[in-house]
Amino acid sequence: MKLINKISRYYLLNSTIVFFTAFAAIYFALNWIIKDDVDEQLFVNKQEIMKKISKGIPVDNPPFIEVTELNKKMSFEQAPGDTSIYQAEVNEMEPFRQIVSFYSSNNKHYKLTVRTSLIEMEDLLISLLIIFTVVFIMFVAILYFINRKTTKEIFRPFYKNLFKLKKYSIKSGETIELDSSDIDEFTELNVVLNELSEKASKEYQALKEFTEDLSHELQTPVSIIKSRLELLLQRKLVDEEMVEDLRKAYQNINKLDKLNRSLILLAKLESKDFFDSTKINIGETVKKIIDNFADIAESKNIAITSNIYSVNNIVCNVTLADVLVSNLLSNAIRHNYENGKIEVYLSESLLRISNTGCEQPLNEEKLFSRFDKNITSKESIGLGLAIVKKICLLYNYKIRYSFEKQMHIIEVEF
């Protein structure tokens, strides 16, 4: 939920609670005040009626005044109370306030009931409450909009900065330029964010440099080990165990060499180093690489069918285009089974390589990450697709993976 909506929601909820409480309080208070007034009036009326009775003036005026003669004297007085009386004129029960008292005069005993209609009072009460409600709602509504506007205004730098943060990439090596605000909390947040981004950026750069340096530093010792082992292999070796040890060492130094080369290329791609790009005929590249790998595929009895329609040139570095297509195709061969299939399709702007392989679809996100254990078969070093992805990123090509009809499909849109 957006902050502004959350604030509005709290505001409205609290206003509603306040409204109902105030409404109830006002209702009871008014009710009490009015009834008190009415009661006072009833007492005054009663006194006057009593005077009239003693003078013998007829006073009966139902339902407002009722006088009943009694046989014996009664002398208790009821507190004023509410009652309802049927009114024939309107065919309804209507509320009244009444006091009942007993009165004796000239040896006659009377029960005296004096009433006042409460209809007017109720009308008044309702009118007052309606006015109160309308005023309150208008008040809340106006405050609601003022609140929203101020909140928006106050949070404007916050949202602006949020947008900048979203776009910020630690890889850029730049610091974030955040909008200043006169609110202390936001200023503090900016300071903290700036420090954080600077620190993260520095550490990222350091780590990146370390990886690059490490790969470069490794090249020389790897070179030396490799050439020394090759010299050793040229000797007449009689000890079979020694040959085996040597073979293992040689195989693995080659693996290390490949790995290191891939890491150097990845680091180069990641640092967005300048690559000389020229117009290249991608169709020719694809044909050349299929041709080069055809016998390797054949050794696994994999059939490669290709439909190449592109006559289009794309702008790319020659070596990187080669690496892109080779990695995709070698991947399709490596993760295939004997007697499998590979289909290569190239149109104006789309390269699609589909291959048979394991029967489950692969996790797309993991597929393009480094060293994914799921797809890392014994013979793969797990960097091929990571490199492909990075090349696509460099040239803004779109890359997709899908699994259809038991085929793993990787599409590159140039």
Partner 1 sequence: MKILILEDEKEISESIAAFLKKEGYVCDFAEKLTKASQLVNLFEYDCALIDLMLPDGSGLDLINLIKQKQPKCGVVVISAKNSLDDKVSGLNLGADDYLTKPFHLVELNARIKSLLRRRNFDGNNVIEFEDIKIELEKRKVSIKNKVIELTRREYDLLLFFMSNKERVLTKEAITEHIWGDNSNAFDNLDFVYTHIKNLRKKLSESGAVDNIQSVYGVGYKFAAK
Residue 220: φ, ψ to 5°: -65, -55
Find the binder of partner 1 among 21, 223, 374, 406 (CB under 8 A): 223
SS3 call for 66: strand
The residue to which tokens 């693996």 are assigned: 255
Contact stretch for partner 1 (CB under 8 A) within 188-196, 197-205, 359-367, 377-385 = 377-385
285 counts as binding partner 1 under rule CB under 8 A: no
Q: Are strands 313-316 and 350-355 parallel, antiparallel or unpaired?
A: unpaired
Neighbours of 133 (CB within 10 A): 14
What amino acid occupies position 175? T
Q: Rounded to whole angstroms, how far apart are CA atoms 178 and 164?
A: 7
Q: Does residue number 254 form part of the binding site for partner 1 (CB under 8 A)? A: yes
* 277 contributes a contact to partner 1 by CB under 8 A: no
The span from the CA of 237 to the CA of 74, in Å, is 140
User: Which stretches does DSSP call E strand in 247-312?
Assistant: 278-281, 303-308
Pick one of 195, 244, 348, 364: the residue that binds partner 1 (CB under 8 A): 244
Asked if 250 is part of the footprint of partner 1 (rule: CB under 8 A), the reply reads: yes
Given 330, 347, 349, 369, the residue binding partner 1 (CB under 8 A): 330
The token duo for 391 is 């090349």
- How is residue 182 annotated by DSSP? S
Q: Does 199 bind partner 1 (CB under 8 A)?
A: no
Is residue 296 within the footprint of partner 1 (CB under 8 A)? yes
Name which position in 243, 303, 311, 315 contacts partner 1 (CB under 8 A).
243
Cβ neighbours for 171, distance < 8 A, ≥ 6 positions apart: 204, 270
Residue 90 contacts partner 1 per CB under 8 A: no
Q: Beta-carbon neighbour count of residue 399 at 10 Å?
A: 20
- Out of 258, 279, 398, 400, the only residue in the binding site for partner 1 (CB under 8 A) is 258
Q: Does 344 bind partner 1 (CB under 8 A)?
A: no
Which residue among 5, 251, 307, 374 contacts partner 1 (CB under 8 A)?
A: 251
Residue 246 binds to partner 1 (criterion: CB under 8 A)? yes
Q: Which two tokens stand for residue 248?
A: 């293992």
Instruction: Assess 1 for contact with partner 1 (CB under 8 A).
Output: no
Report, in Å, the least distance between residue 354 CB and partner 1: 18
Sign of CA dihedral 328, 334, 337, 341: positive
Which of these segments, 92-100, 142-150, 292-300, 338-346, binds partner 1 (CB under 8 A)?
Answer: 292-300
219 near partner 1, rule: CB under 8 A: yes
Counting residues that bind partner 1 (by CB under 8 A) gives 54
Q: How far apart are CA 112 and CA 260, in angstroms?
A: 114
Can residue 376 be called a binding residue for partner 1 (CB under 8 A)? no
Least separation, in Å, of the C-beta of 219 and partner 1? 5
Instruction: Please give the Cα distance from 104 to 163 (Å, whole number).
Output: 90
β-strand partners of 342 = 304, 355
Question: Which residue of 69, 239, 379, 404 would you call a contact of partner 1, by CB under 8 A?
Answer: 379
Tell me how long the chain is: 414
Question: Taking contact as CB under 8 A, which single stretch among the options 41-49, 80-88, 104-112, 318-326 is the one that binds partner 1?
Answer: 318-326
Kindly give the interhelix angle for 119-167 and 184-234, rounded to the nearest 10 degrees.
30
User: Which residues would be at the binding site for partner 1 (CB under 8 A)?
Assistant: 216, 219-220, 222-224, 226-228, 230-231, 233-234, 240, 243-244, 246-247, 250-251, 254-255, 257-258, 261, 264-265, 268, 274-276, 289, 292-293, 295-296, 298-299, 317, 319-320, 322-323, 326-327, 330-331, 333-334, 378-381, 384
